[in-house]
Amino acid sequence: MIVRTTGAVLACLIACNVHAQVTETGSEPLRIDATAAKRVEWRDAAKAAAEAPTLALPALAHERIEAMQRRNSESRHRRFQIGVVRAVASEAVSDVPKPTLQAVADGTVLRLDVASAGAAALRVGLRVDAWPDGAELRVAGTVFGDTIYAVDAATARNQADPQGVYWTAVTDGERQRLELFVPAGIDASRVRFSIDSVSHLVVGPQGSSGDAKALGDSGACEIDVVCRTGTLGQNFVDLKNSVARLVFQSGGGTYTCTGTLLNDTVAATQIPWFYTAHHCIGNQTEASTVTTFWNFETPTCNVDNAGPNIQVQGGSQLMYSQASTDGALLRLNNSPPGGAVLLGWNAGSLPTPTSIIGVHHPRGDIKKVSIGTHSGVSSNVDIDGQILSSALRASWAEGTTEGGSSGSGLFTFNGGYQLRGGLAGGTAGCSNSGGSEASGNRDFYSRLELVFPSISQYIAGAAQNGPTRDYTGQWDLPSEAGRGVSMFAFGQNILFALWFVYDNQGRASWYQLDAQWTGPDVASGRVVRWTGTPWGPTYNPGDRVLTQTGTFTLTFVSATQATFAYNVDGVNRTITLTKAVVN
């Protein structure tokens, strides 16, 4: 990994104690086994194909589709609307029907279909706060019904938007099957599907550009990325593998943009930082609904074939988003698939002219590449009423950008490709590709050098022991009742944790985890037990006895999951804890 710094001369660094600031870094592959992804199946595949009660919405009025097309064609912003949110309360033909119930191993499944007539794809907005711990949702579409997406109840609650709505994965076809598993010991007949809304998409996630003709597929001048891998080499392959299409909810619609997976300067962490545009993701409500698509590209030049197109659901955390720069930085809640690359970046000033490359998903199409020139910087750029204080200008010799390209990176080469900014909008198109800026061949990009001071703490911070999030809450092992860890975060990176275990007689044992941060998101230390006199009217602190019973290590792998390894009272074990949500 390349890391460069700027600062004063060495003599002043020593005498003045000036700290150098990292301003760029290189790329590195994501260290994930590409074959490790587990295929999800229905709980009972033989019976899952049977018909289920259906929550039905009628065909979407053509006027609403035309209004969406009109907004897309009139906007200079490059985010692209691909769906309309439909409120179940006002648009469903009937109330939500009761699901079918079927006994399966270790519990019961509830099945319900949601259908929006004529949709190319669906997302379903569910209220999940009342789902019991241990429950799990699985969903699939009708066109690619063997592609099933799963999420447990605790994770769904944590990844719901601030209004309490969890959006399912995008599935092909006008019907989405919902299967909710309820563990044994819970009355499944009392569990309900609370469906808030349905997003009716006119573009399917698995189709090639031909499936997007309801909105107009990407322009004829666009270039498949595979058509340039031979001439641009492995560095370009790394670049394209860092770029993903994102789909998200905003207001009353579903939109698509493009983003780039960014590296940071701490090689040990590989946190999935994701750079895109403010006008795509401007608040946490939108960030919570993000689902990303990886390797959505044709393997053969000029042949419409979608390739693997791996969807990673789970939302994201909004770390930065600012209208005046149009930059946005997300932290994805779930890791991208194996083969993805954490791309390098450069926060220095970009000289003029400079050769540039753009990689993006125009109109949500398969991945494309544009080649051109950075021609200068413009101030107070007005794009559909959003004023960028300063923006990079780009013009294209080959290819162009379109709606859906928003947030995609502007990249330069210096031993490897590096991100310099993200697409805000412009007037470039196939009609003026190869022409001058005066002909309209001009796009505007956010400037990473202006965004960098606000995000350097994330992508350019030194490796520090401590948490990257607040992990306060109740953490449990859903498959084993009667045990868990209560965690409380305080200032100065202090973690107070109590571990409780109940035996089969209902008797409690309480332990304190004497936690010290020993790495990024890693806490280790002693496990101690306090004993003393029974409860009574008087208390003598001198009667307390502290005994070490073992050691532990807590490794937080996400906002809602942690690995808990312990050796206590002769028991050596490693388990996965899940953070519970109390509503």
| CA-to-CA dists, residue 112 to 44, 134, 135, 174, 526, angstroms | 15, 19, 15, 14, 48
Half-sphere exposure at residue 97, Cβ-oriented, CA atoms within 13 angstroms = 17
What is the number of helices (H) and of strands (E) in the chain?
8, 38
Catalytic residue among 326, 365, 476, 521: 326
Query: Of 67, 76, 72, which is closest to residue 385 (Cα–Cα)?
Result: 76
Measured CA distances, 337 to 33, 242, 324 (Å):
8, 11, 33
> Is 279 a known active-site residue?
yes
Torsion angle of alpha carbons 382, 384, 387, 388, nearest 10°?
Answer: -80
Burial of 96 (0-12, 13-18, 19+ CB in 10 A): middle
Q: For 294, what's the count of Cα atoms within 13 Å in the CB-facing half-sphere?
A: 21
> H/E element holding 450?
helix 448-459
Q: Which two tokens stand for residue 409?
A: 């990176």
Instruction: For residue 278, give the amino acid letter.
Output: H
Contact predicate 408/396, CB 8 Å: no
Which of the residues 321, 406, 446, 558 is marked catalytic? 406
Identify which of 31, 65, 249 has the alpha carbon closest to the alpha carbon of residue 73: 65
What are the DSSP calls for 349-406, one per residue?
Answer: PPPSSEEEEEEE-GGG-S-EEEEEEEEEEEEEEEETTEEEEEEEEEEEEE----TT-T
Question: Among 200, 278, 279, 360, which one carries the catalytic annotation?
Answer: 279
Taking residue 519's Cβ as centre, other Cβ atoms within 10 Å add up to 15
Catalytic residue list contains 370:
no
One-letter amino acid of 4: R
* Whole-number Å distance between alpha carbons of 252 and 199: 9
Distance CA 230, CA 142 (A): 37
Query: Is 129 labeled as catalytic in the residue annotation?
Result: no
Cβ proximity of 317 and 330 under 8 Å: yes
Active site residues: 279, 326, 406
